Amino acid sequence: MITRIFIGLASRARMLYYRVRGVEFEGKCWLRAIEAPRFHNAIRLGDGAALDSGVVLLVTGGAAETPKIAIGRHTYVNRHTMFDATEQIDVGEKVMIGPFCYITDHDHAFGPSLAPGESVYRSAPTRLEDRCWIGAHVTILKGVTIGAGSVIGAGSVVTKSIPPGVVAAGNPARVIRKIEG
């Protein structure tokens, strides 16, 4: 009982700390020891969102009019998942994201005369629609939309959009079957 009270108080203290630093909360959230090194008032967490230990919310670039990272109501993000945004990562409601995932909305331009890290970002919004289930160790790249109710198998690399209501897996991820029911 005491442990549960301590964990609840610690979560509320984290919410206060991040609210002062510019994270927008749309209600109560459950936060473990997360990292959000730069905010730029560009992160929004929906009511009931839960972010477990080691989740990283990384925002690059200047302030935005809309959140660069938006996580919907009642979404759970498991341990050591990283969101890396320059433009927009939008996660819908009731999404479940497994541990050690990487979700981004950008990559770097490259070419024979460019050194890694010296090029500009190439960005495109990334979206996980409502009720998705993302397995452990999944990588989701820029410009991808995961359709509502879809499941992405553990260890997948998602390079292209996935339609709603399917199971997809692999590297690169491909649709395996439609979800019936």
pLDDT tens string 89-106: 999 999 999 999 999 999
Q: State if pTM tops 0.85.
A: yes
CATH code: domain of residue 64 = 2.160.10.10
Residue 8: give the domain boundaries.
2-178
Query: Over 70: is that where the pLDDT of 39 sits?
Result: no
Q: To the nearest whole number, what is the mean pLDDT of the chain?
A: 91
| Average pLDDT rounded to a whole number, residues 53-69 | 87
Q: Structurally, how many domains does the chain consist of? A: 1
- Active-site pick, 40, 74, 106, 108: 108
Whether 80 is a known active-site residue: answer no
Q: What's the pLDDT at 41?
A: 75
Q: What is the DSSP string of 3-66?
A: HHHHHHHHHHHHHHHHHHTT-EESS--EE-S-B-S--TT-EEE-TT-EE-TT-EEEE-SS--SS
* Predicted confidence (pLDDT) at residue 78 exceeds the cutoff of 90: yes
